[in-house]
């Protein structure tokens, strides 16, 4: 019996197989993981550059489900991704209670090799 749902590829197994791929470095011959998913990669680049993000940043990050992306990155890569409640103005200017997320120093250290060529170094 096949389990086909409308709009879902028959090969989809519920996992995000396109999130990363393994490459082999030409100079050292060592394998390393590369992020390939555009949304996760953009969020990692923002976090690694020192930004704090909340769901109110969706209009310029392109991520309308930041909490899900944070959960995925946390589980997949073993990141702590600190978070706290904050009162931020929404688009109407009214203060709204939202969760803010950012990378700890250890998170940045873990993820920087995956995106090192694309993230500006902060503080130099």
Q: Give the range among 6-10, 37-41, 46-50 with minimum mean pLDDT.
A: 6-10
Q: What is the pTM assigned to this prediction?
A: 0.66
Cβ 79 vs Cβ 101: under 8 Å: no
* Averaged pLDDT, 55-77: 92
Q: Give the range among 24-33, 41-50, 74-83 with minimum mean pLDDT.
A: 24-33
For every residue of the chain, which 3-state class applies, written as one string? CCCCCCCCCCCCCCCCHHHEEEEECCCCCCEEEEECCHHHHHHHHHHHCCCCEEHHHHHHHCCCCHHHHHHHHHHHHCCCCCEEEEEEECCCCCEEEEEEECCCHHHHHHHHHHHCCCCCCCCC
* Averaged pLDDT, 81-86: 97
| The domain defined by 20-115 carries CATH number 1.10.10 | yes
């Amino acid at each position: 019996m096949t389990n086909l749902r409308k709009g879902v590829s028959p090969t989809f197994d519920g996992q995000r197989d396109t999130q990363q791929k393994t490459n082999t470095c030409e100079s050292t011959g060592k394998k390393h993981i590369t992020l390939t998913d555009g949304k996760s990669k953009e969020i990692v680049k923002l976090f690694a550059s020192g930004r704090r993000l909340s769901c109110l940043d969706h209009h310029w990050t392109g991520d309308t489900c930041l909490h899900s992306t944070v959960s995925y990155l946390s589980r997949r890569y073993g990141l702590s991704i600190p978070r706290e409640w904050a009162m931020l103005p929404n688009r109407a200017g009214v203060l709204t209670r939202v969760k803010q997320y950012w990378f700890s120093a250890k998170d940045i250290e873990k993820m920087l090799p995956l995106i090192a060529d694309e993230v500006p170094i902060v503080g130099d």
